[in-house]
Amino acid sequence: RKEVEQDPGPFNVPEGATVAFNCTYSNSASQSFFWYRQDCRKEPKLLMSVYSSGNEDGRFTAQLNRASQYISLLIRDSKLSDSATYLCVVNIAGNTGFQKLVFGTGTRLLVSP
């Protein structure tokens, strides 16, 4: 079983749609979680950290379910510019102040006019 698993997609949605991605992780000791966005042939960029209570940043909402070991990302009112690959990332190093990140292979989102 992969340490971090994501549906590769692609998810094809029209502009204005709401779309949700899920991600599961296998290491129950994982302490911190992130969503990164990666455009084609570019570097990953941090989209948002994921907190236990859930958190929102504009049109983006992230949720964490520690009991079921999954993380979700919800995008509301999709824009053409949201088209990218979304990487689920888990820190398996524990609460040491240092990071050992494990990256999912990403979920590809295509938003069409």
Partner 1 sequence: DGGITQSPKYLFRKEGQNVTLSCEQNLNHDAMYWYRQDPGQGLRLIYYSQIVNDFQKGDIAEGYSVSREKKESFPLTVTSAQKNPTAFYLCASSRVGDSSNQPQHFGDGTRLSIL
CA 55, 108, 12, 1 torsion-angle sign: negative
Does position 27 bind partner 1 by CB under 8 A? no
Does position 69 bind partner 1 by CB under 8 A? no
Distance CA 32, CA 77 (A): 27
| Nearest to partner 1 of 21, 34 (CB atom) | 34
| Nearest to partner 1 of 58, 97 (CB atom) | 97
**Contact, 71 vs 23, CB < 8 A?**
yes
| Nearest to partner 1 of 6, 83 (CB atom) | 6
Does position 86 bind partner 1 by CB under 8 A? no
The 3-state DSSP class for residue 80 equals helix
- Binding region for partner 1 (CB under 8 A): 4, 8, 31-32, 34, 41-46, 49, 87, 91, 93-106
